[in-house]
Chain A
């Protein structure tokens, strides 16, 4: 699997222009034309990213995040969800860099072989930063009214989080 990943990118990058050349496409000009969009999109997503990230940053710094973790802890402990991995469950949909920080902190606290780190790592690997994806993907095409995308994204995250805990229990617990 790792080998496939190592080959796939260079292969794609070489094959596409090569195929284009065979099909008599003006590859260089067409590439530049497409690449120009990259810049426009980068600029277009800025307001969306600012809106999402600053709100999350404030929420984290205000201590509200810690409070919710403390408040939710006993409830979750009661249903068998380990409180120790709660920070990851809350951070993961909100911030990518934040959840990396949480995981690094957990590795330092519990050790990389602990069940908690395995759960948190599985969560990290199996879900995405929903709000970031939302800001970037919809921002790029100027979508402001997101309909039910927040709900479905969070439902998918929640399923991934619960599945991570259950699966790690079954496999390693």
Chain B
């Protein structure tokens, strides 16, 4: 399933990007090669033959804009400083041009009339906007993934350190006794008094209280405990699928901090609606996982049995 979703995302992205870019070329959305008329105002005693800062106006549009005028061989070019008041079309070009800059764009001067002060310029050509966008997105997100993972390390080390102490001191086993009845139903294949029960309950408690940065390391620790019982090294067990489902349903009784930051105290009104919605998603999720379990029967004492089943959902 994940194989199809994953490759589907990539293939659909490519198809959409190419379609969009071809449509742009056919419709000439970016009007590549079109000459735009402007009026140039040189500073007093300015000489068009030398590099200098000039101002210019666009016909039928209010406002004066800045550019650096520079002679190149027989002709001239302008480095235009992008200004929010420019026509929409100019801003779009600046944003989507091939050069990485969004604050400047390079225009080629095709004609210059010193008497009238008018000039015709070619704005940068814009092509393959979406193709470039998805490429950038792929690289940026790959980098972001690493930042994210590295950012997790500190919190993770803290919690896993604490959990190790809790485990060695027997604290986890005290907790296990309390939550056993409920968790036995969700994770029937986890043996009685197994530390996994304790960690799972801590993970759930952290989720409920909206402690996201405690919930993740605890969830991972719980996943590791379940992995010790999993006969396969790379295929999820039913218990692991259940743990994941419970975590995506995310039983939350307290609003997450980001929500408070975004909508302020109004969030208090939503506590009830969130608790109800999360309860519905939890019940439905557990029911779904329990239903799937029937089609993937597992031996309850399946410690250390080699991986034989190859069936993939």
Please report A residues at the B interface, Cβ cutoff 8 Å: 1-2, 4-5, 8-9, 12-13, 16-17, 19-20, 22-23, 25, 27, 30-39, 41-43, 45-46, 49-64, 67, 93, 100, 103-104, 107, 112-113, 117-118, 121-128, 130, 133-134, 136-138, 140-153, 155-160, 163-164, 167-168, 171-172
CA distance A134 to B2 in the complex (A): 10
CA distance A53 to B133 in the complex (A): 15
Taking A38-B217, A112-B266, A156-B285 as contacts, is the C-beta distance between A57 and B211 under 8 angstroms?
no
Known contacts A35-B157, A61-B133, A160-B281; can you find 19 more A-B pairs with CB under 8 A? Answer: A5-B254, A32-B161, A34-B160, A45-B152, A53-B145, A54-B145, A57-B141, A59-B9, A60-B137, A64-B15, A112-B263, A117-B263, A125-B270, A126-B250, A126-B277, A133-B244, A143-B234, A160-B249, A172-B269
Partner of A42, one of B136, B153, B247: B153
Cβ A46 vs Cβ B146 within 8 A: yes
Secondary structure of the A contact surface, majority rule: helix
Partner of B273, one of A33, A67, A171: A171
Q: Say if the beta carbon of B305 comes within 8 Å of chain A.
A: no
Mark the stretch among B57-65, B70-78, B99-107, B167-175 that contacts chain A: B167-175
Partner of B236, one of A41, A100, A140, A146: A146
B222 to chain A minimum Cβ distance, whole angstroms, is 9
Cβ B234 vs Cβ A145 within 8 A: yes
B94 to chain A minimum Cβ distance, whole angstroms, is 18
B21 to chain A minimum Cβ distance, whole angstroms, is 10
Taking A63-B20, A143-B236 as contacts, is the C-beta distance between A155 and B288 under 8 angstroms?
yes
Q: Say if the beta carbon of B120 comes within 8 Å of chain A.
A: no
**Chain B residue contacts of A152, Cβ below 8 A:** 241, 244-245, 248, 285, 288-289, 292
**Chain A residue contacts of B137, Cβ below 8 A:** 54, 57-58, 60-61
B243-288 residues at the A interface, CB under 8 angstroms: 243-245, 247-250, 252-256, 258-259, 262-264, 266-267, 269-274, 276-278, 280-285, 288
B113-171 residues at the A interface, CB under 8 angstroms: 130, 133-134, 136-142, 144-146, 148-150, 152-166, 168-171
Q: Say if the beta carbon of B26 comes within 8 Å of chain A.
A: no
Cβ B274 vs Cβ A126 within 8 A: yes
CA distance A8 to B254 in the complex (A): 13
